[in-house]
């Protein structure tokens, strides 16, 4: 490696221009400006919608004296927790450049299955009276299993992610309905309602639990090889493959992780309600909120882009909007119309801000 070619003439010939730098000055300056950003700024860029969130909070405080009170504020956090968990799952799938509609099904199906196995027959359970902690394991396994089947069908059988997860969404909702004949199980064991329903002082347990999950997922994406691989696979599966990344395994793993996160979200929502209904998840259209939150939070539908700080802000923006609509008693029949309009506006703002960004 230390040998030097003796053919200096050839080397000289090979430098026809003798130029050192080759970049136009303008591009150079632009790049220098980008690189001049501090670390703190880069973290802020991750949450490009933070100003929008702050503006919404100010707006909320102005239109309702109740908005800023502790009860309401922590209530938003509790409401947002379950949405945040399923959105985190959707965000991971979007990051690999795919989509998963079935998370909305898992969000209802997994807690229903677990509760059905645990609850007594008199409360619409199957009558097995499974240990609640075993039920928790069933819940997480159900999420992982749905994701695994999705992953196999999409990655190995090369089926369309949209169609596979649409079918799965409807099928899961059907099973969820069928298990209890459309009934509601409200006899939840304590450990099923604790995270979703309890408070530590004023702080909802669900918010703390969700924050922990977000920190773990965020650090995983940033500092673990498999996390970095998710961005690479979403950015360019071919380049990732050429770099030795097992693309199929990363993708299937992400579908499974997303299923688990959706199951956890449904579990938290069940605890908040104190019951699991046949309509939780699919019928309430939670998947659309998850999609919108993720995209507003800066996750690209094209893959390779997004992070948990952005996702958290995206979820909170929509949760605050929902809360304001509730507080203002917007005509319930028109509420979705307003909500949809706000989502579109938020998307436009996110796009405008997001286009100026650099990645990770």
Partner 1 sequence: MLDNNTVAVPRLAATHLSKWYGHVGALREVSVEFWPGLTGIVGDNGAGKSTLLKIFSGFEVPDEGEVLLDGHPVAFHTARAARTVGIESLYQSLALVNTLSVADNVFLGRELYRRILGMRVVDRRAMRKDADDALKLLRISMPPSRVGVKQLSGGQRQAVALARAMYFGARVVLLDEPTASLGPRETAAFLRIIRDTADHGETVVVVGHNLPQMLELADHLLVMRAGRIVAAFSPKETSLRELTDFMVGSA
Binding site for partner 1 (CB under 8 A): 1-7, 9-11, 13-17, 19-23, 27-28, 31-32, 34-35, 219, 222-225, 227-229, 231-232, 234-236, 238-245, 300, 303-305, 358-360
Please state the closest distance from residue 31 (CB atom) to partner 1, in A.
4
Nearer to partner 1, 216 or 348 (CB): 216
What is the four-CA torsion angle of 190, 196, 199, 205, rounded to 10 degrees? 110
Nearer to partner 1, 13 or 157 (CB): 13
Instruction: Give bridge partners of residue 204 from the DSSP assignment.
Output: 199
Question: Measured between alpha carbons, how far is 138 from 119 in angstroms, rounded to an integer?
Answer: 14
Please state the closest distance from residue 251 (CB atom) to partner 1, in A.
15
Q: DSSP letters of 125-183?
A: --S----HHHHHHHHHHHHHHHHHHHHIIIIIS---HHHHHHHHHHHHHHHHHHHTTT-
Both tokens assigned to 224: 């673990």
Residue 112 has φ and ψ, to the nearest 5°, of -65, -45
Nearer to partner 1, 156 or 224 (CB): 224
Nearer to partner 1, 223 or 333 (CB): 223
Please state the closest distance from residue 244 (CB atom) to partner 1, in A.
4
* CB 100 within 8 Å of CB 161: yes
* CB 271 within 8 Å of CB 109: no
Please state the closest distance from residue 226 (CB atom) to partner 1, in A.
10
Please state the closest distance from residue 83 (CB atom) to partner 1, in A.
26
Nearer to partner 1, 16 or 201 (CB): 16
Please state the closest distance from residue 37 (CB atom) to partner 1, in A.
9
Nearer to partner 1, 17 or 122 (CB): 17
| 293-316 burial code (b ≥16 CB/10 A, e <16) | bbbbbbbbeebbbbbbbbbbbbbb
């Amino acid at each position: 490696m230390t040998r030097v070619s003796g053919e200096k003439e050839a080397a000289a010939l090979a430098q026809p221009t003798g130029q050192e730098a080759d970049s136009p000055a303008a591009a150079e300056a632009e790049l220098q400006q980008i690189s001049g950003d501090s670390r703190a700024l880069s973290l802020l860029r991750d949450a490009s919608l933070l100003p929008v969130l702050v503006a919404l909070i100010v707006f909320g405080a102005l239109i309702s004296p109740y908005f800023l009170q502790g009860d309401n504020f922590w209530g938003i956090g509790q409401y947002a927790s379950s949405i945040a968990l399923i959105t985190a799952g959707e965000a991971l799938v979007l990051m690999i450049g795919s989509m998963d509609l079935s998370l909305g099904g898992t969000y209802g199906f997994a807690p229903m299955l677990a509760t059905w196995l645990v609850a007594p027959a008199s409360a619409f359970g199957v009558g097995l009276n499974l240990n609640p902690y075993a039920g928790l394991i069933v819940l997480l396994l159900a999420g992982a299993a749905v994701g695994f089947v999705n992953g196999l069908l999409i990655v190995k059988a090369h089926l369309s992610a949209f169609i596979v997860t649409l079918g799965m969404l409807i099928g899961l909702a059907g099973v969820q309905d069928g298990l209890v004949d459309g009934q509601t199980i409200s006899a939840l064991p304590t450990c099923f309602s604790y995270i979703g329903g309890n408070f530590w002082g004023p702080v909802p347990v669900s918010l703390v639990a969700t924050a922990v999950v977000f920190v773990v997922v965020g650090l995983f994406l940033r500092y673990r090889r498999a996390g970095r691989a998710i961005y690479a696979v979403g950015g360019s599966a071919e380049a990732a493959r050429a770099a030795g990344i097992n693309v199929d395994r990363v993708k299937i793993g992400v579908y499974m992780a997303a299923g688990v996160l959706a199951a956890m979200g449904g579990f938290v929502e069940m605890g908040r309600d104190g019951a699991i209904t046949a309509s939780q998840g699919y019928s309430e259209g939670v998947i659309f909120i998850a999609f919108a939150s993720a995209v507003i939070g800066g996750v690209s539908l094209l893959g390779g882009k997004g992070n948990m700080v952005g996702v958290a802000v995206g979820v909170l923006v929509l949760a605050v909007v929902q809360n304001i609509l509730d507080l203002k008693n917007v005509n319930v029949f028109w509420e979705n119309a307003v909500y949809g309009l706000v989502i579109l506006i938020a998307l436009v703002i996110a796009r405008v801000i997001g286009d100026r960004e650099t990645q990770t």
